[in-house]
């Protein structure tokens, strides 16, 4: 997940207006719920409705997004079906990716050299 957010943020450079059309709920660990906004937008005459890769707590998404309201988002001009709310990535995503890749390398080396 973090790597896909980083990749999407790097590729989504074109800012447009989109309408929040839904908020999808995801069950997390220990009963925690996360929500992802869904945006409807038109780009170069084509209509899209895509879910954001970013998720929020119930309190965060309630404060940040209202269904039916318009918000600025960024789309990938080569693949306009990809969108994200901000094309700036927090340092934490890079840390998570670095740790994940490190664990993967460790796991592979452990299997090879056991």
Task: For residues 90-95, give the mean pLDDT.
Answer: 56
d(CA 98, CA 91): 11
Looking at residue 81, its pLDDT comes to 92
Look at residues 26, 3, 18 and name the one whose alpha carbon lies nearest to residue 81.
18
Spatial contact of 75 and 41, defined as CB atoms under 8 Å apart: yes
End-to-end, the C-alpha distance of the chain in Å comes to 29
Looking at residue 89, its pLDDT comes to 57
How many domains, the chain? 1
Q: Burial, 75: exposed, middle or buried (Cβ in 10 Å; 0-12, 13-18, 19+)?
A: buried
Task: For residues 54-83, give the mean pLDDT.
Answer: 93
d(CA 90, CA 33): 22
| Consecutive H or E run containing 73 | strand 70-75
d(CA 68, CA 52): 16
The whole-model pTM stands at 0.71
Q: Which residues lie across from 37 on neighbouring strands?
A: 23
CATH number of the domain residue 11 falls in: 2.40.50
Looking at residue 5, its pLDDT comes to 54
d(CA 74, CA 14): 5
- pLDDT tens, residue by residue, 6-65: 556 778 889 999 999 999 998 877 778 999 999 999 999 999 999 988 888 999 999 999
46 is in which domain, residue-wise? 2-113
């Amino acid at each position: 997940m973090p790597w896909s957010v980083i990749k999407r943020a790097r590729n989504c450079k074109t800012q447009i207006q989109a309408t929040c059309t839904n908020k999808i709920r995801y069950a997390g660990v220990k009963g925690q719920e996360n929500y992802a906004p869904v945006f409807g937008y038109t780009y170069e005459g084509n209509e899209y409705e895509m879910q954001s890769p970013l998720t929020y707590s119930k309190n965060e998404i309630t404060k940040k997004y209202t269904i039916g309201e318009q918000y600025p988002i960024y789309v990938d001009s080569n693949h306009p079906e990809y969108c994200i709310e901000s094309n700036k990535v927090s340092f934490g995503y890079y840390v998570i990716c670095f740790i994940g890749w490190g664990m993967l390398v460790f796991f592979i080396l452990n299997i090879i050299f056991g």
